[in-house]
Amino acid sequence: MTSLTTAKHQIGEIDGMRCTIIETGVTHQRMEFLRDLLAFNRLEVKIKEETPAEGTEEILYTVGVTDIVFNPVYAIYERTLLKQDGQIVTPAYWREQEGDTFVQYWTYGKIETADQYE
């Protein structure tokens, strides 16, 4: 589940502690990305291994934080999360998309060319 698709606040329990569930069913690489990013932003991160589905060997994870009022959608769109280099976390960076991750909403999908202003 991608956490930016819904602003619904999910609470769960990881290691006997109530947590805000950030994402469920994520790969090891995604889990490490989220763990490092959230820990850098001074959130206590909890990880839970999910039982693999029948016929699959890939282990998936649930990522949560102990701050039960934290909501990743609000944190990203309110621009309160920071990357390790000090820049603001954008939705594209959160989704680990390639290319320019700092696109302003009013320019999204527009092609800028020099002849556009003539």
Summarised one tens digit per residue, pLDDT across range 56-95 is 888 999 999 999 999 999 999 899 999 999 999 988 889 8
- Which residue is listed with tokens 């909403």? 105
**Would you say residue 6 lies in a domain?**
no
Q: What percent of the chain has pLDDT over 70?
A: 81
**Would you say residue 5 lies in a domain?**
no
pLDDT interval class at 117 (50, 70, 90):
very low
pLDDT at 97 exceeding the cut of 60: yes
**Would you say residue 3 lies in a domain?**
no
**Would you say residue 4 lies in a domain?**
no
**Would you say residue 45 lies in a domain?**
yes
pLDDT at 26 exceeding the cut of 70: yes
In angstroms, the CA 102 to CA 93 distance is 8
Residue 51, CA distances (Å) to 30, 32, 35 in order: 17, 18, 20
pLDDT value at residue 41:
96
Residue 87, CA distances (Å) to 11, 12, 90, 109 in order: 28, 30, 9, 22
pLDDT at 115 exceeding the cut of 80: no
Query: Domains in the chain: how many in total?
Result: 1
In angstroms, the CA 76 to CA 90 distance is 6
**Would you say residue 15 lies in a domain?**
yes
| Burial per residue of 14-41, b for 16 or more beta-carbon CB atoms within 10 angstroms, e otherwise | beeeebbbbbbebeeebbebbbebbeeb
**Would you say residue 32 lies in a domain?**
yes
**Would you say residue 35 lies in a domain?**
yes
The whole domain housing 20 covers: 11-117
